[in-house]
Chains A and B, each alone.
Chain A
Amino acid sequence: MTAPTAHTRKPEPLDFDQPRVSIAKPEYRFDMQGEMPEAERVERAMKSFVKDFGRTAAIYMESCIHCGMCAEACHFYEVTKDPKYTPIWKLEPFKQAYKREYGPFAVVYRALNLKQKVTVEQLQQWQQLIYDSCTVCGRCSLICPMGIDIAALVSQARHGMYNAGLIPHELWAVTERARLEGSPLGATPKVFKDRIEWLADDHEVEIPVDAADADVMCAMSSIEIMKYPDSVVATARIMNHLGLSWTFRLDGYEATNFGLLSGNSAAQKQLTMKLIDAAVACGAKTVILPECGHAYTALRWMGANMYGEPLPFRVLHIAEFLAEQVREGKLRLKKVAKSATFHDPCQVVRRGGAIEAPREVLKALGVELREMYPSKGTAWCCGGGGGVVANHRADDLRYKTFRIKMEQVEQTGAELPVTTCANCRQTFDDGQAHFKWDRKMHSLLELVADNLLGDDQ
C-alpha cells in the first residue's frame, strides 16, 4: 500500500460504538503521509523542529546529564520497565539533530561527523515513542534534576514529525476530517446545532446559540458533543441558573484542538482563531472552556501567542469558573452525601495550574474527598492524553498504564471517581469496559449541574 496524499481520501468513518471516540480501526495503517523523498522528510522534520528553537528549548537541550531519572516518572516505563520509554530517549533523534545542526558547537559536530544525520527509518521508529507512548502529561518534567520540561520538547518534536508526514494514522485522519468537514470528530456546525435543538427540547433547557452580544461564551469539546451531550446540557443549566448573559457560537464552539496534539501548528492556529474570533464577535468578556485538558492548554496558555496580542477576554476552565462562582457565593449546591476521589487531568492541574479549583467545587458539593496517592502535581496520567486514546495502535500499552489508575481509585475506596476532562473520562470509560471494571468516572460539571440548589429543573 502506498501512503495517501492529502486530497485522495474521503473522511474516514468515525466509530461511536466504542467507549472512546476515534476513527474506526483502520484496515490498513497509513503512518506515513504524503509523497516526498526520504531526504525531504528528514529535512522537513528537522527544519520545523529547529524553527521552534528559542532560548528555552536550547537551554534544555544543553542540560541533560543522562541520569535516567525521568523514566521513574513515566507511566509507560512504570508498567513495562522497558528502557525505550525513558522520556528523554523519546527525543533522541531530535537531540542528535540539535547537536549536529543547531547547537553552539554544531560546526564541530558536523565537521568531525560526531553526530550522525538523522534518518527516516529512525524517525519512523521514534513515531511510536513520540505519539503512542507519550501523553505529554509532564510528570517527567517534575522529576528532572536539571529542570528540563521534557513534555514541552515532545510537543516540539511532534511539529517536526507532522511536517515530515510521519504521524500516526488516526491523528492524521482526524485532522483531515477537520479539514474536509470542519470538525475532527464529526461535531460539525450542523451536527452541533441539531444536537443543541434536540437537547434543549429533550431536557427543557434554554440553550442560546449565536447571540450577537454576550458576556460569556462557552465552548465544548468534540468528545462531549458526540459522546457526553449531558455536559452540554449541564453547561446550559449552570449558566442559566447563574442568570448570565451567555451563548454558544456556531462559528466557534469546539475547543478540541487536534492541531496541538498532532503537531500541526497551522491547524492549531486555525482552530484557536475560530474560538477567538467568535468571542470577539459577540463581545464576550469571558470564554469558558469545557472539561478538556488540552483545550485549556491550547487557548488559556497558547491562545494569545497565536493571536499575536493579549486576548481581549478572560479564559477559564469550567472548573475554575465553578470555583469562582462558589467562592463568590453565587453558586450554592446541594450536598452529595458520598465519598469521592478526584482524578487530576494533567493539562488542567499539573501543567495548567488549576490545582485547587476542582477541589473547591467538590468541597462545596459536600463530598468526602479521598485523595489518591500521588495526586495533584504528581498525579498519574490516565494514559489517554496527548492523542493516545484516539490511536488504536497504542491500545494495549494504554490499557497497561490504566491499571495504575484503577489501583489508585480502588485504594481510596471512594464511591465517586470524579474528573474534569472529557478525554480522561472517555479513557476511564474505555478502560472500564476493557477490564470489566465496576467503577464509573463522573464529570465534575455534570455533578454540579445535578445538584444546583434552588433550581427547579
Chain B
Amino acid sequence: MSLLDFARGPALQWSVFVFIVGVLWRLFGVLLLRSKKDLSEPRNRAAWKGLRLIALRSWPRREFLEGTAFGEVMGYAFHVGFLVTLFFFAPHVVFFADVARGLIGTDLRGLIGVGWPTLPNGIITLLAAVSVAALLALLVHRLVNPVKRLISNFDDYFSWFVTIAPLVTGLLAFSHLAGWPYERLLAWHLLSVELLLVWFPFGKLMHAFTIFAARGTTGMIFERRGASL
C-alpha cells in the first residue's frame, strides 16, 4: 500500500471516526450535565433573545477594540482563509462530492440540480497564503506577548501546528513545490488534515462547536437578568 493509498484509505476512515466519536463524546459529555433551574423572577421573560450574543460577540464592543484589534483581525484573517480554502477550492469540492456520492449515492448537483460553487485558484492561493501569514503572526504574538505566553500550554501550540499544517502542505501540493512527486505531497496534505481531525476533539479546536453553546448560555443568562451583553 502506497503512502497515498494509506492516507486516502484507512487513515482517512479512522481519523474521521475519531473526529466524529470524539466530538460527540466531548459535546454530549458536557451538554448532558444537569442544569439547575433558575427560580429568580426574570427581568426579561424572553431569555432566548439573549441568543443574539452568538452573533454580537463576533466583534468586540468599541470600548474593547483598541486592546483586541490585533487578535480580532488576525483571527478573522486566518479563519476566513482557512474556511474559504476548505470549502471553495475546486479539488476540495470534487473530493466532498465524491464522499457524498459514496455515502448517499448522489451529490449536491444530483439533489438540487446546482453544484457547490468554487472560487478561482488564484483567489484561493492568496487567501490560504494570508491565512498562513496570520497564523505565523499569531504564533509570534503568543510567544512574545506576556499574557498569551503565560496562559499558553501544549494544546495552544499543537492546535496551531495542526491548523497550519494542512494549509502549508496544501499550498505545497498545489504549487508542486519542494521537488517531491505530487502523489507524495498530496499524501502528506491528506495526512496533515487527518492529524487535525484526530486532534480536534481533544484540544481547543473544539471551540468551533462550543463557541455556540458558551455564547448562547451566557446570552440567555444575562438577557434574563437584563444584564449587559
Q: Which residues does A use to contact B, with CB under 8 Å?
A: 53-56, 58-60, 62-69, 71-73, 77, 81, 83-84, 86, 88-89, 92, 103-105, 108, 141-149, 300-305, 307-311, 314-315, 349-355, 373-374, 376-378
Contacts and interface: CB of A to CB of B under 8 A. Distances in A.
Given A68-B145, A149-B221, A56 B228 contact: no
The 6 closest A-B pairs by CB, nearest first: A377-B228, A104-B29, A353-B226, A72-B67, A147-B215, A304-B39
Nearest to B38: A305
Contact of A146 (B71, B146, B207): B207
A88 B151 contact: yes
Given A59-B213, A63-B213, A302 B40 contact: yes
A55 B34 contact: yes
B53 interface: yes
B204 A64 contact: yes
B179 to A, nearest CB: 37
Nearest to B138: A67
18 contacts: A54-B35, A59-B213, A59-B217, A63-B214, A66-B148, A66-B156, A68-B151, A77-B147, A83-B146, A83-B149, A84-B150, A142-B64, A145-B72, A148-B214, A304-B39, A310-B41, A352-B226, A377-B229
A378 B213 contact: no
Contacts of A310: 39-41
Contacts of A146: 57, 207, 210-211, 214-215
Interface of B: 25-26, 29-36, 38-41, 43, 53-54, 57-58, 60-61, 63-64, 67-68, 71-72, 75, 145-153, 155-156, 202, 204, 206-207, 210-211, 213-219, 221-222, 225-229
Nearest to A60: B214
Given A105-B29, A378-B61, A378-B228, 8 more contacts: A60-B217, A66-B152, A146-B57, A310-B39, A350-B228, A352-B227, A353-B226, A376-B228
A86 B204 CA distance: 19
Contacts of A64: 204
B211 A63 contact: yes
A58 B57 CA distance: 20
Contact of A378 (B64, B153, B206): B64
A98 to B, nearest CB: 11
Contacts of A311: 40-41
B40 A300 contact: yes
A351 B227 contact: yes
Given A350-B228, A376-B228, A305 B40 contact: yes
A303 to B, nearest CB: 7
B53 to A, nearest CB: 6
Contacts of B61: 142-143, 377-378
B73 to A, nearest CB: 13
B147 A147 contact: no
A333 B19 CA distance: 65
A58 B71 CA distance: 25
Contacts of A309: 39
Contact of A89 (B32, B34, B150, B211): B150
B26 A83 contact: no
Contacts of B64: 69, 72-73, 142-143, 378
Contacts of B40: 300-305, 310-311
A71 B39 CA distance: 33
Nearest to B30: A58
A55 B41 contact: no
Identify the interface centre among A69, A374, A378: most chain B CB within 10 Å of its CB: A69
